[in-house]
Structure 1
Amino acid sequence: MQVRDASTADWDRIWPFFEAIVRAGDSYAYPLDLDSDAARALWMERPPGRTTVAVDADGTVLGSAKMGPNRPGRGAHVATASFMVDPDARRSGVGRALGEDMIAWVGAQGFRGIQFNAVVETNTAAVRLWRDLGFEVVGTVPAAFDHATLGLVGLHVMYKPLG
C-alpha cells in the first residue's frame, strides 16, 4: 500500500466510498443529499491543505484523508484532518497508514498539534486508532451527533501535541 497526494482524477474513485460512508450515518455529519460536486468541494483540499489517497499495488484507491489548518489566522498552528476508508478495505491497515502519513506531513509543515473536532464516540475503531497514534480525548460534546441507528451520541474532540 502507498499513500500519495490525491489527484483530480482520483475523485471518481473516492466518491463511491465517500457517498456510502456519509449515507451510512454513523461517522460523518455531512448532509445526506450531497452530490459528487459538492462532496468534492468539501473533501479535496487546496493549499495550505492536502488530500491524500491510500492505493494498493494495482492502483485501487482504498481510502483517503484530508488535512490542513484547523482554523485560519491565530489558530492556523494547529492542524485538523478527516479520514475515510472504503468499507471493503477496513481492518487492513489503511486508516493507520493514512493517519501516520498525516502526522508526518503536519509535523513537517510546522504545525504544533492536531485537533480532531468531531470523532463520533461510538466509532470505536477510529477512537482506538487515534489513541494508539497518540491522541487523547480532551472533551466530549454530549448528544452532538445524530447517529443513524443509535440516535444522539457524543462527539469527541481529540488532540495530539507535536514538537
Structure 2
Amino acid sequence: MTIEIRRAAPADLDGMWAAFQPLLEGGDAFPFGPAFEKTTFQLHWFSNHPAYVACDGESIVGMYKMGANYPDHGAHVASATYAVAKQAQGRGIGRLLVEHSLAQARREGFLAMQFNYVVGSNAAAMALYRKLGFNIAGTLPQAFRHRELGLVDAYVLHRFLEKE
C-alpha cells in the first residue's frame, strides 16, 4: 500500500465528497446526517483549518483537517477531524492520518491535541486513539443518536504532544 498524504486543494472537493458522503449514511460515527449538503461539507473542510487528503493513486481514501481548537488562550491545543472512505477502512489509513496530524501539530507548535466529540460506540476509532496515547478527558452522556443503538455517549479525548 502506497498512500500519499498531502494538503487538500479545491480540486479535491469532489473526491473528498465522494469518500465522505457514504459515511453519513451509516449514522454511527459523525454528528452530520444524510441531509448534510456538499456546500456545507465544503465550508466545513475548507474554511477555518487546513485539510489533508490520503490518496491511493488517484483515489482519495481518507482525509483530515487540523488546527487550533480555540483561538487566543486555547490556541496551543490542536483539534482534528478524520474520515476514511468505506472501501478503504481496515487498511491502516486512519492510523496514517492521525500520525500525520500529530506530526503536523508538533511542527506547528501545538502542545496538545484534543478531540471534542468522538462517538463512544465507534470502537475502531476509540481503539486507535487509545493506542496513540489519547485519554478520555470527559464524557458527553447520550450525546449521539446512533442509528441502531439509540443514544450513546460521546467523548472528549486529549493527549499532550511530545517533542520530536
Whether the TM-score (by the shorter chain) exceeds 0.5 is: yes
Cα distance, 1:45–1:67 mapped onto 2, change above 3 Å: farther
Aligned to 2:26: 24
8 Å CA contact 1:45–1:67 kept in 2: the answer is no
Aligned to 1:135: 134
Instruction: Please report the TM-score for the alignment, with normalisation by the length of structure 2.
Output: 0.93
Structure 1 unpaired stretches of 5+: none
Q: Distance in 2 between matches of 1:83 and 1:157?
A: 15
Aligned to 1:67: 66
| 1:6-21 map, 5 Å | 6-21=8-23
Q: What's the CA shift string for 1:93-123, capped at 9, x where partnerless?
A: 1101111100000011011100000110000
Could you say what secondary structure the match of 2:70 adopts?
A: coil
Could you say what secondary structure the match of 1:28 adopts?
A: coil
8 Å CA contact 1:45–1:51 kept in 2: the answer is no
8 Å CA contact 1:138–1:159 kept in 2: the answer is yes
One-letter amino acid of the counterpart of residue 37, structure 1: T
One-letter amino acid of the counterpart of residue 30, structure 2: Y
| 1:1-163 map, 5 Å | 1-46=3-48, 49-56=49-56, 58-163=57-162
Q: Distance in 1 between matches of 2:151 and 2:60?
A: 32
* Structure 1 segments of 4+ aligned residues over 4 angstroms from their partners: none
Could you say what secondary structure the match of 1:34 adopts?
A: coil
Q: Distance in 1 between matches of 2:50 and 2:45?
A: 10
Q: Distance in 1 between matches of 2:139 and 2:107?
A: 29
8 Å CA contact 2:27–2:33 kept in 1: the answer is no
One-letter amino acid of the counterpart of residue 60, structure 1: S
8 Å CA contact 2:19–2:60 kept in 1: the answer is no
1:23: how far off? 2.7
8 Å CA contact 2:16–2:60 kept in 1: the answer is yes
1:16: how far off? 1.7
Q: Distance in 2 between matches of 1:77 and 1:32?
A: 34
1:82: how far off? 0.5
Q: Distance in 2 between matches of 1:43 and 1:23?
A: 19
Q: Distance in 1 between matches of 2:134 and 2:122?
A: 15
Structure 2 unpaired stretches of 5+: none
One-letter amino acid of the counterpart of residue 54, structure 1: A
One-letter amino acid of the counterpart of residue 119, structure 1: V
Q: Distance in 2 between matches of 1:144 and 1:39?
A: 22
1:143: how far off? 0.3
